[in-house]
Chains A and B, each alone.
Chain A
């Protein structure tokens, strides 16, 4: 079985500040890891993914995440927050391969203060 933990439900940062959204996972097999973002009144869209290879992955809009196997983590960061980053962010895990499913975390809402 797989699971994802996103601690806290809400993070607030000032515009220009570092964004750090935490994600820890549990998986009995090497995981595939994802971050999805949901802007207000929209569906989710893929922000970035880790499958194999380089553990630091870059996504859209300046976000990146690092897979740390020893810490079972996949935290999402952005050096400088922008007002347009305000959204809900979901971390997800999969075992990969055909017929695999995504297991989502509970999500975390990011607010950006002017």
Chain B
């Protein structure tokens, strides 16, 4: 079974802190994605990566950056957390053969105070 793990289920940070959200997949998938999920807004794509060291902006990249130094790991970085970044963050991965069949992690609920 594909497994996508996220470093924390719940995280509380203060405004202005630098926040790292980590995601690891164990199926050698080429593609990895970061979404945020908010009530009434569904899932919105923040950043994605089709290969190691490659990244592309999604629909709402402002205030975020990413890092993909290894194939299995994709990190989301909030350089200076703000209260409007309080949200559920979901990581996903997929293979090149079935790029839209994404496997999701359990999510990290981030609260910024």
Chain A nearest CB, measured from B1 CB (Å): 11
Residue B15 interfacial (CB < 8 Å): no
- Using A43-B4, A43-B107, A94-B100 as known contacts, say yes or no to A101 and B48 having CB atoms under 8 A apart: yes
List, in ascending order, chain B residues with CB within 8 A of A41's CB.
106
List, in ascending order, chain B residues with CB within 8 A of A101's CB.
45, 48, 58
B101 touches A46 (CB 8 A): yes
**Number of residues in A with C-beta < 8 Å to the partner?**
24
A106 touches B42 (CB 8 A): yes
- Using A41-B106, A43-B106, A44-B104 as known contacts, say yes or no to A90 and B43 having CB atoms under 8 A apart: yes
List, in ascending order, chain A residues with CB within 8 A of B4's CB.
43
Residue A104 interfacial (CB < 8 Å): yes
- Using A43-B106, A43-B107 as known contacts, say yes or no to A100 and B42 having CB atoms under 8 A apart: no
B40 touches A46 (CB 8 A): no
Q: Which of B48, B92, B99: most chain A Cβ within 10 A?
A: B99
B90 touches A102 (CB 8 A): no
Chain A nearest CB, measured from B99 CB (Å): 6
Q: Mark A83-114, 1 if CB is under 8 A from B, else 0.
A: 00000001010101111111011110000000
A107 CB contact (under 8 Å) in B42, B45, B96, B102: B42
B43 touches A104 (CB 8 A): yes
> How far is B100's CA from A106's CA once the two chains are assembled, in angstroms?
18
Q: Which residue of A lies closest to B109 (CB)?
A: A41
Instruction: Provide a sorted-by-A list of 13 A–B residue pairs whose CB atoms are within 8 angstroms.
Output: A34-B100, A42-B107, A43-B107, A44-B90, A44-B92, A46-B101, A46-B102, A96-B100, A97-B99, A104-B43, A104-B44, A106-B40, A107-B42
Closest 10 CB pairs of A and B: A43-B104, A106-B42, A104-B43, A44-B104, A94-B100, A104-B42, A107-B42, A43-B106, A43-B105, A102-B100
